[in-house]
Structure 1
């Protein structure tokens, strides 16, 4: 790995930690701030809302600045508001801090994806982007379980302090190792916003929000799935999550190689098909503990394998607005997170088992395959028209 990519990996580690550790901290935060767990759950929603708002807003407002300066500015916002989270005296203060700490999330990954592709050797752009997303996989494998343990056995505020320290270290390495890349903006805010008039861009957004939302339908309810359906003890769930995190590490490497070897949209289509098959298998076979663990590893791998192909696909689709496109993809991932959790919960409310969300996820993944197929067909027709012209 080039050392210039290391600050992007560190940034992904910090962002992944603060996003996913909240699931394990909710009971401790609720007890400490004297509120209910459902109310504390609004902290997750506030962060996701910050991602959706901040991704396009911060990218458009900073497009005239050098990428290194933008990345440092985004990480400063991230670090400051995670430190504020550590000292937040009330639930409302923490809610605001979570919203503002989510603002740079999508923009950092959006700008970082474009920077990584510019720093990459020819033909290895997706693998370079996967190095940034490796930070997310390491977070799920190591710092998220560690942060949850610290929050439960010591104090949840220390966890946000740890995230703040990761932010500070990221800032240091951005300053030391990130090269001064020139601004490559070819338009202005108005011309970049034309991205949202592109049918191809919307298809990528739909693939991301609905297709990958299928996996969030599964992982949002993985704890009761493992305890109530697979029959594991509650204390085993954290180790099962580490297994899923290890799958993410492997899947991130595979996704980067697939996107460089094949067309990104073809890679997305096949990975979504694999996701649908895996989620159906989870619905059918989660009663067997060994099979359940194998499927957890596979689903974890698929959950992050899509990240690099989708980012490359959006960058290729949004010529002249690459950073906005890549950041919008991150917003779409978070929309998929919310949609998957919501739709996956509906059959549970209706009285079906905890394996039923994976069936909902399978349907969402298949919709993603349909959108990918439409995108492929549009590309083929465009090539045919160009050849006739």
Structure 2
């Protein structure tokens, strides 16, 4: 794989660390700004909402310029937000900084994915996406715990400064190593909007949103699930989260290799396995060894589908995938927001910490049904000759 794809993965590592490390810094942030923990947690929700709403219009704006220039501009915007956050004198300024930072995330994912698959060459698109999205996996394994550790020992601002420094390195690497592309021949806004007239696009986006809602309906409450249901001590939770992170890395690697040849099968098997593993968690958590195995398996199946989710959307929009790729990142974030809310509603209703698991299993099954519908809708369209069922990126998106 070209080195530039790994550079994009480093950029995603920085973006992902910033998005999720706030969860480990909530007590420090709440104390410094004299707000409640739930109010501090809105910094997470605000970020996700800004990613979901800001990415698509920013991507459309960047259709007028070279893809490499767009990536550089987005990383500069990210660093501006990150530095503003490190210097924020108030909660309101920090929230504004989080929104500025988040605006770059969705568009960078979307444009970066198109660049990555074009650099990878034929038959290696899902693997390229897996490498790039692997930066997000490593962020969960290393970046988020390290950010929390730094914040606890040297203050939360130090975590922001370190990520800003890494993002600066990533920016320099993108400038040096990502190949320059030719200027677009014309503004392709209409072409980028065309895939959204197809029912298959919306079912593909629904697949993504439901699958992520299933993941986060459980993962958002993993700490109390492990302590209250499985009887682990609070000190055992971080190592178990690292184990979950190792599982996500393994799953992303496996999914990236499998999805290039068997995209639909990857989604069907992965989503059914996700539903099964989540449904079995309440049983596994009664014993130590099965609980540990269940946490690892949960990580594997939850992330094995991610390369296929992004690839599916880009395949449906093969002739104009940039905006579709970004909107799919919005779908990821909608699921990230919807899952914890639904899980919290079930817990608050008095059903206990088993409720999110069964709810999530149902969401995973619904996502599998949406993936099957996408395949059928895409197949019907291909049968009528609208678009061959193959990648057209290398030809259609050359700039």
Counterpart residue number, 2:88: 88
Give secondary structure in 1 for the equivalent of 2:334. Answer: helix
Q: Are 1:114 and 1:323, in contact at CA under 8 Å, matched by a contact in 2?
A: yes
Q: Work out whether 1:326 is the aligned partner of 2:325.
A: yes
Distance 1:380 1:317 in 2: 10
Counterpart residue number, 1:22: 22
1:261-300 per-position Cα deviation (integer Å, ceiling 9, x unaligned): 21x2331122111110011011332222221211111111
Counterpart residue number, 2:102: 102
Unaligned stretches of 5+ residues in structure 2: 387-399
Q: Are 2:56 and 2:326, in contact at CA under 8 Å, matched by a contact in 1?
A: yes
Q: Are 1:5 and 1:128, in contact at CA under 8 Å, matched by a contact in 2?
A: yes
Q: Are 2:317 and 2:324, in contact at CA under 8 Å, matched by a contact in 1?
A: yes
| Equivalent residues, number | 386
Counterpart residue number, 1:355: 354
Counterpart residue number, 1:250: 250
Counterpart residue number, 1:296: 295
* Structure 1 residue 319, shift from structure 2 partner: 3.2
Counterpart residue number, 2:390: none
Q: Are 2:217 and 2:339, in contact at CA under 8 Å, matched by a contact in 1?
A: yes
Counterpart residue number, 2:389: none
Normalization by structure 1: what TM-score?
Answer: 0.96
Give secondary structure in 2 for the equivalent of 1:212. Answer: helix
Cα distance 1:281–1:131, how it changes in 2: closer, same or farther (>3 A)?
same
1:130-166 per-position Cα deviation (integer Å, ceiling 9, x unaligned): 1111111111111111111111222011111111111
Q: Are 1:186 and 1:320, in contact at CA under 8 Å, matched by a contact in 2?
A: no
Q: Are 2:64 and 2:187, in contact at CA under 8 Å, matched by a contact in 1?
A: no
Instruction: Output aligned runs, 1:229-308, within 5 Å.
Output: 229-262=229-262, 264-308=263-307
Q: Are 2:63 and 2:187, in contact at CA under 8 Å, matched by a contact in 1?
A: no
Distance 2:239 2:119 in 1: 36
Instruction: Output aligned runs, 1:186-265, within 5 Å.
Output: 188-262=188-262, 264-265=263-264
Cα distance 1:199–1:242, how it changes in 2: closer, same or farther (>3 A)?
same
* Structure 1 residue 14, shift from structure 2 partner: 0.3
Unaligned stretches of 5+ residues in structure 1: none
Normalization by structure 2: what TM-score?
Answer: 0.93
What is the RMSD computed on CA atoms of the aligned residues?
1.6
Give secondary structure in 2 for the equivalent of 1:41. Answer: helix
Give secondary structure in 1 for the equivalent of 2:286. Answer: coil
Q: Work out whether 1:32 is the aligned partner of 2:18.
A: no
Distance 1:384 1:188 in 2: 26
